[in-house]
Amino acid sequence: MNIVILAAGQGQRMRSALPKVMQNLAGKPMLQHVLETAFITSPKTAPLVVIGHGAPLVSQFLMTFAAQNKTTLKLAAKISTVLQAKQNGTGHALLQALPKLNLTVPTLVLYGDVPLIGSSTLKRLIQLADGVAGQDSALALLIQDLVDPQGYGRIMRNAAGEVTAIIEEKDANRQQRSIQEINTGIMVLPSQHLKRWLKALKTSNAQGEYYLTDVIAMAVKDGVPIRTTQATNAWETIGVNDRAQLAALERIAQQEIARNLLSNGVSLADPARLDVRGKLTCGQDVFIDIGCVFEGAVSLAAGVKVGPNCVLRNTQVGKRVVIQAFSHLDGAMIGDDCIIGPYARIRPGANLANDVHIGNFVEIKNSHLGAESKANHLAYVGDAIVGKRVNIGAGTITCNYDGVNKHQTIIEDDVFIGSDTQLVAPVKVGRGATLGAGTTLTKDAPANQLTVSRTKQVSVPWQRPEKKVLAKKKLSSKGKK
């Protein structure tokens, strides 16, 4: 089949330099949600995207999306585009796509600003268009019953309940506006009729545009069956026109993510205070406290506990790890049974083996820490290889940057580093070595020895200065009795 995604609109009400379909929802552009659903619905179909406003930016996004997903979505590289230079209605947009369509198969029309449409709904719609035994292919229309149908086109039916037309709200009279059955815009069209229908569209309406919905009346006239179905969830059909609608849909998306996590055995302290802006994969008995944000691809193995107000981005966390409050993990690999935080920062390239402890106000960047090593407070470890059972004291810093280049520090197994120590890279600390507190290490420290670098302590006579106090002027008693 053909899949056409209409994504040419500007979205003036967004008041943004970005095209509307590039606005983020749950960490991804709205258009990406639609693309991913299209591939799930019909894996062998490469979508055709109608672009217009912000076309270079949308085209660049599509190229990046194809490159990033060429393994899992093998047809992604075949995504094609067509330009709607002047945005003159949905019918006009589909007309631009017509030369690239296979007119012998049905055409599914989707919208880049209706991001939460579900694949199960679309599959059911496609089955309707395939027709039933003994009948021709039909036009399948996704509709919805809404308590408040404001802003949507209304479904017109005859006395027999058959769809006869769609009237856009701006063209509807008062009686028609009272109808609560609305058109979502999503439909499957019999492509063999498309060229004739689209060429026959007129702009005699309140918007002065070519409405795709006008093909419904043409289908009725041509005797093409029209079948309707509703979405599995009403929120699947919600479109976005402004930032308020985007924010409302964000909450719906997050509620659905939370519901899925709960149903898969994840404990959430408060499902309403969770934000997943990418893909979160969890094992059994994971607990997530309030205010946590997950970005990119994050995996939490069984038994992980995440404290309040943590941010995890593109990170893998092993079994039974405890991440305490206000910790930030970005691009990290965390082994089993680690303890992180509170207030820890684990930066890209950090790789922690099993049973590593990273405490408050400790930063780890592009470093490997071996099993059972600890940096419990106020330390920075960057561009380092740290062995097993190493203790890194408070205030320790690996001085990895000389102002131009980064250099590596190597700390072998069973090293004890005293507090307030600076390791000026490139430098190596041998196995079992001890660095005394306050040491500035500029040369390699030998294994199994104590290395200390301090100035000699001296005591001298000393008189602490006293603060000078200005004498207060005495009040004159003259004139007083």
In this structure, what are the phi and psi dihedrals at residue 345, rounded to the nearest 5 degrees? -125, 115
The single residue of 357, 368, 377, 407 carrying the catalytic annotation is 377
* Contact call for residues 26 and 276 (beta carbons, < 8 A): yes
Among 61, 66, 69, smallest CA distance to 29 is for 61
Q: How many CA atoms lie within 13 Å of 170's alpha carbon, on the beta-carbon side?
A: 7
Burial degree of 31 (CB within 10 A; 0-12, 13-18, 19+): buried
**Distance (Å, rounded) from C-alpha 296 to C-alpha 419?**
36
Among 90, 82, 78, smallest CA distance to 52 is for 82
For residue 445, give the DSSP letter.
B
Residue 377 annotated in active site: yes
Which element (helix H / strand E) includes 82? strand 80-83
Among 357, 424, 341, smallest CA distance to 390 is for 357
* Contact call for residues 38 and 45 (beta carbons, < 8 A): yes
- Residue 122, helix vs strand vs coil: helix
Active site residues: 377
